[in-house]
Structure 1
């Protein structure tokens, strides 16, 4: 028996609006880091596998999370299941958010260096 990935429903208008806001906020934060707002960090102690992670969020970047500091990875609530390296935020994460906002298209394939 072969397992298939669950079908993901098309994004709602609210999800598309959230993605548009997130893309604009990320572009603004890259242009002027002072617009990010207050950084908040929390340590998550994960039981299986036994490890912990540091999650950082910013007040003015809704849904954006940095995991394990600058050398870790980034994710966004609008793009569940996807992680990005720091160098992939501008060329991949923001365009993925904009495509979701404008066309309702979720990413389906990795497009960066890790995909090769």
Structure 2
């Protein structure tokens, strides 16, 4: 029987501040992609199971990563355990970051309504 994941501690004031900044930076990048900054790409080889992943990040979007290109998933270090597809960035990731910044709330349900 699998155990439920350990709940995360309440967010710190610093995490809440960074979440607000991240939401603003993502909104700005959607409006004007030139604000993203320089892109960095890394390939990570995983031993078990044997596969690799491409991680992309941008200088002005701290904590935001794209895994395996445009058809892959997007993650943010302030939202551990969650990943988003491209169309969910504006609809879900940014509101999740704003809820973390404004109310200290971490996401608990995905769009389909399944609890985390």
Note the residue ranges of structure 1 that are not aligned, 5 or more in a row.
none
Note the residue ranges of structure 2 that are not aligned, 5 or more in a row.
none
Pairing 1:30–2:34 present? no
Pairing 1:93–2:83 present? no
Tell me the TM-score normalized by structure 2: 0.93
For residue 8 of structure 1, report the CA deviation from its aligned partner: 1.4
- 1:1-116 matches, within 5 Å, as 3-112=3-112
Alpha-carbon distance in 2 for matches of 1:9, 1:113? 23
Structure 1 stretches of 4+ moved >6 Å: none
Instruction: Judging by fraction of residues, say which structure has more helix.
Output: 1
**Pairwise CA RMSD of aligned residues?**
1.8
> Over residues 69-102 of structure 1, what are the superposed CA-to-partner deviations in whole Å (9 max), with x where a residue is unaligned?
0011100000011000001000000000000000
Q: Secondary structure of 1:86's match?
A: coil
Tell me the TM-score normalized by structure 1: 0.93
Q: Is the 8 A contact 1:92 1:112 kept in 2?
A: no
Q: Is the 8 A contact 1:16 1:101 kept in 2?
A: yes
